Chain A
Amino acid sequence: MKVQVNPTRMELLRLKKRLRVAVRGHKLLKDKLDELMKNFLELVEENRRLRTEVEEGLTRAFRGFAMARAVLSWSYLETALGAHRDRRGVTARPVIKMNIEIPHFVLDEEEPNMYPYGLAETTGDLDEAVRRLHSAFRPLIQLAEVEKTVELMAGEIERTRRRVNALEYVLIPQLEEQVRYITMKLEENERGNLVRLMKVKEIVGHG
């Protein structure tokens, strides 16, 4: 690689300073990456645990609804489940974790009555299904949060790693190369100067 820098002391000082900053930055980023990775692996583990739990709960609840569907008509079921019920929302608060903004979901207040319909006209299957779905809801929201965090953190890890690599394999070696080049050039000049002086002294001595 052709080094293109002025072999001066000024330049040498400047480059050494940059090198120090780069090395320090590299160390910091590397620490960040390690920490991200540690958090990430824990989250992935939690995600898998929650996912398994939620899928099991949901599948069972859905089976219950399928049973209810066999007896009740779609429109009937739709009114029964949706009747007199306000839309429930989630409150999301952004939390900054490891410099990434992640949403933290909190479900709005729950209605005291779990069953939105009159108990007389519906089947026990439906009650059971609604109850199951209710108990799976909280883990489901939690899963949404964890899964989103995993996704966002994965992106951050990728970005950080790219920066660490750029510093480690491109910028730092390049700076070191330039510093070495200038040092050698300066030493060479020094030697050239010395030899010239000796030569001059010799000529003067003879004369």
Chain B
Amino acid sequence: MTRSDPVDPTSPTREAADATVVELHHALERVVQRACPPWLVAHRDDLVQAAVLKVLAVQERKGEGIDEVPASYLYRVAHSALVDEIRRHRRKREVALEEGGDIVEQSKRVRDPEQQASSRQAGRAIQNCLSRLKVERKRAVTLYLQGSSVPESSRILGWKRKRTENLVFRGLVDLRQCLIKKGIRS
């Protein structure tokens, strides 16, 4: 549907489109709840709304109703939109941090800056230690840190579950040893 082509709000097509938008909105809310950075908590609703609008805009340009395309396509567009939005907020935040604006206060409320800095330091150490792991352990631990389950990692890397589990376990042991050498206890 396009803007110049109004649709009867009570029509079945419109209802299906509305239902699709609502479903996508709820899915994005859950995704943002689980995966967006802590400092963006206050902007979660904005993020979801902006991402849904971007998906709708893509569909409008395409001249197709949102209910006419496969869900897998919509979710991919939503992913791209969400990533763009988070990056836009991050840039805005950096400017605000430089200028000492309100966002600084918001980020302070969300998390102690000292704790944040120490977390990032640990993050850099993890990144460095990861680069020293044997390649397969590194892949297994990377996906573990990314929140992938053993079955998900097995599927992505084409490994058996038991093997994946072993590689994650051994990789984490190596990672902890490396972190201790750097003075960081996990």
A binds B: no
Task: Give B residues with C-beta under 8 Å from A.
Answer: none
Task: Give A residues with C-beta under 8 Å from B.
Answer: none
